[in-house]
Chain A
Amino acid sequence: GESVGLHLPTLSVQEGDNSIINCAYSNSASDYFIWYKQESGKGPQFIIDIRSNMDKRQGQRVTVLLNKTVKHLSLQIAATQPGDSAVYFCAESHSGNTPLVFGKGTRLSVIA
């Protein structure tokens, strides 16, 4: 079936550096994408979303880039902080009506 996957299972970055987490999706009909952050013992927390009519969207310290040509999604975190350490998931949906399909996740470790 259709799936969303991640290129890197783990990522270690120095505090203050920028982080980039990548995600590939296979359903060309997907038009809505979300990044979630999940800390240990907690549920996924919304970070940022983007619809397929956009290539880029910025939030506070985070940017999501969408490349529909190669079905690739990335999350950029500026000036990574220890509090950013968590597992990050991308998820996709079609028209917001289909269930969110999650990838396996990338663990981000911030080295102080």
Chain B
Amino acid sequence: DAGVTQSPTHLIKTRGQQVTLRCSPKSGHDTVSWYQQALGQGPQFIFQYYEEEERQRGNFPDRFSGHQFPNYSSELNVNALLLGDSALYLCASRQGGNYGYTFGSGTRLTVV
């Protein structure tokens, strides 16, 4: 049983560019959350998707947007990239009312 899969694993972008990160949740999971993890820090919540709608959002600017598809997979889009957006982006999924999240291995984004 595949867990949470994310693509790509690594990405290098230039300031001002746009990026799209992808996530496939664990089989049976319908809720997807995205986190940003800066080097040496704990993950910070970006937003959560359920039933194709953004349900909760953390303290991130509108440059960060997302989408959830009918098959529960999700995308994270970041526009007008800044150097400070360099981080590990983690996708986590869970099933319905269950409390625990399963995390993917993340996408390492480097903005130069």
Contacts of B33 in A (CB 8 A): 99-100
Answer whether residue A110 sits at the interface, using C-beta atoms and an 8 A cutoff.
no
The number of A-B residue pairs with CB atoms under 8 Å apart is 54
Question: Does A28 reach chain B (CB closer than 8 Å)?
Answer: no
- Name the residue of chain B whose CB is nearest to the CB of A104: B42
Interface-side segment among B12-20, B68-76, B103-111: B103-111
Bin the interface of chain A by size. Answer: 20 to 34
B103 touches A43 (CB 8 A): yes
Report if A96-B58 is in contact (Cβ < 8 Å); known contacts: A43-B103, A44-B43, A89-B42: no
Interface string of B27-46 (1 = CB under 8 A from A): 00000010100001111110
Q: A residues near B, CB below 8 A? A: 4, 32, 34, 36, 41-46, 49, 89, 91, 93, 96, 98-105
Residues of B within 8 A of A (CB): 4, 33, 35, 40-45, 48, 56, 58, 90, 92, 97-106
